[in-house]
Structure 1
């Protein structure tokens, strides 16, 4: 018996922010779409939870902003960092020309579930969970679909266009054999959670001390905490023992000192191996890469979700009409997507690499640019010239070339 085959205009591999957003937008334009997600649900720990004003503006254009914000979330109109007793506002989002002038911290699974519900309102949207893509189907030089394993057995999805939105460890990227440029990252991040009390500070916070960088994100009843460490140093930290790790956390955030015992074992600490890389070419005939599959971002600025969403909006704007036409797509529309989104991705990655190498790496090495333990100069400048706080807020909150909907 031959395996079943599904026919669609667009097959999207990966049910993350890029894949789900593109699937919803294409279906809204009338394009038949199949989205393949290998997991049974969207519940994964310590994924990016930051929705920026650019993403909120897209939600507004869709008429969904108020409904989205009815879900549990936290708003942050300012970004703050702390070094010793000095606390500095480094980003002020309240001046942005958007409806939402703040960051939104929302569990990614809630955001993806929201998009899944919106997609399900269209007869053109088909989400298949527990559908693991194992390879691509080719007709000559053109990608014509993907091979999939499901609980019911193997199947093939054939499509005029396959979009790989399956992240930095993209199976489709491996199958396509495209060259990946690695920009390097001098750090990794250890994520964990500690309980939060009502009288704790409300805003997200970055704390800098010689040799240590500590991030705190308000998740209502919990702090999502991240300790930035030198690349590859996790095993050395483990060898020093969990008690030493707890002491370091208490030193970085003294008001958490009585809560560090909530870290019962190293199982409560998750390692994120930071990668910054990109494809030089985002497409082949019948195949397009977007999001982290095209350009893996550093966690600096928390912009990964928002770059992925912007990629999806641009792809939907440029590909809806060619896909609706029902003819051979060709490579020109795919080239146009890369032309539209490559510059924002490259500039954002360049800024991330600069911050990693000039600010974060010296701190992790205990040599904060020879400034005698004071704030790094960009943070000192933001502290002394408040209007400058609008610049990082705009770069983080809107990014380079924010996208707007232009669907058929």
Structure 2
């Protein structure tokens, strides 16, 4: 016999876990299907922005999140040849409760959300449950077929299927929702280096040289590095080998020269095929796409995870009542896109502008950093750094937890409520 739920969520990433938790707190039966056995994956979106920190407070999870091992980013700054630096985005200028970006391994955030979901009687999380097919009948998506760890295929029928399965979404492809792709000149390669006591403790610092640049993110006990170069050169980088890659890194950041031997092989350098795209329509009858399944973002600005969570909050807010009634219409699903379309378009246009005017000139060897007039303005008028900080940290149309999902603070283990 097929299983039954009100809402099935494909993918246990940030968007999937947030929409599942919020709908469960509204009393909706939700099942989240995650194909992996745990959340342990390297170099996922690990930035938790001020607007998401505010959301966690509203959900009663702020204290438990604050207890997780984490580092904080107060600013994005670009080093100058004279040894000084110019601040591009200063999060400390934000008039918000948490004026910083928290850097937390994504698996810790997802485990926190899973624990909160387990407290809700209508929330179910199934690990090692890989969705293989949409179930369709009478012109509508009616649920999914998924495969468990032992190879068994099970049908799960649902009033609504929410696809949070990333930029290569199976659900999106099977629903034949057309994707609009935008040109992207770069790819990213992620790796780690040991931290040094002299490293900037709370700043995100780009480093540039002709033909490549890197973004250095301080983490607990190590540095997470995004090496940015022209799209399509992954095979060449791997053919050149780890010694040349180490030289490339040291050429951009001479202070890393004594640490690059920590990159033991190119197997430790993880390639990200950067995409910038979005669906014209985020839904089909019985199906809604959120996060990267609806709009893949460039890593420039690190806003992808934040937008995905904002999508999830908007979707839960708008769809909880229709799901409780058992009558989700296509108009209800279209309303989610309508609410989230403006922030999506503005961020993607900003990323496209940065690709064209900042990133492409560097990776094409035409310039070794931001345009001089931009640096001059930021040096002379530091308050300008508030604008980028707001767009990155808060964004356009930040979402807040709906009343049905709010809870008083939940104490960490070992503390009194």
Q: TM-score range by the shorter chain?
A: over 0.9
Aligned to 1:361: 360
TM-score, L = length of structure 2: 0.93
Residue of structure 1 equivalent to 2:301: 301
Q: Distance in 1 between matches of 2:84 and 2:244?
A: 25
Q: Rate the CA distance shift 1:373–1:28 in 2: closer, same or farther, 3 A.
A: closer
Q: Which residue of 1 aligns with 2:19?
A: 22
Q: 1:233 Cα shift?
A: 1.2
1:53 matched to 2:44? The reply is no
Range moving further from structure 2, 235-244 or 7-16: 235-244
**Whole-Å Cα distance in 2 between the matches of residues 24 and 388 of structure 1?**
37
Q: Counterpart in 1 of 2:349?
A: 350
How far apart are the structure 2 equivalents of 1:406 and 1:373? 43
| 1:316–1:407 CA contact under 8 A, matched in 2 | no
> Is the 8 Å Cα contact of residues 83 and 209 (structure 1) preserved in structure 2?
no
Q: Indicate how the Cα distance of structure 1 residues 376 and 275 shifts in structure 2: closer, same or farther if over 3 A, else same.
A: farther
Which structure 1 segments of 5+ residues have no match? none
**TM alignment of 1:9-408, pairs within 5 A:** 9-84=6-81, 85-152=83-150, 153-202=152-201, 203-325=203-325, 327-368=326-367, 375-408=371-404
Aligned residues: 401
Offset from partner CA, 1:83-136 (integer Å, 9 cap, x none): 433421111112223211001100001110110011001111100001111111
Aligned counterparts of 1:79 and 1:189: Cα–Cα separation in 2: 18
SS at the partner of 2:143?
strand
Would you say the 8 A contact 1:143–1:285 is kept in 2? yes
Cα displacement (A) at 1:237: 2.5
Quick one: distance in 1 between partners of 2:60 and 2:123?
19
Shift of 1:384: 2.0
CA distance in structure 2 between the partners assigned to 1:320 and 1:354 by the alignment = 37
Cα RMSD of the aligned pairs, angstroms, is: 1.4
CA contact (8 A) 2:188 2:227 kept: yes
Q: Which moved more, 1:101-110 or 1:192-201?
A: 192-201
Q: CA deviation at 1:376?
A: 4.6
Q: Distance in 2 between matches of 1:346 and 1:220?
A: 33
Alpha carbons 2:143, 2:161 under 8 Å: kept: yes
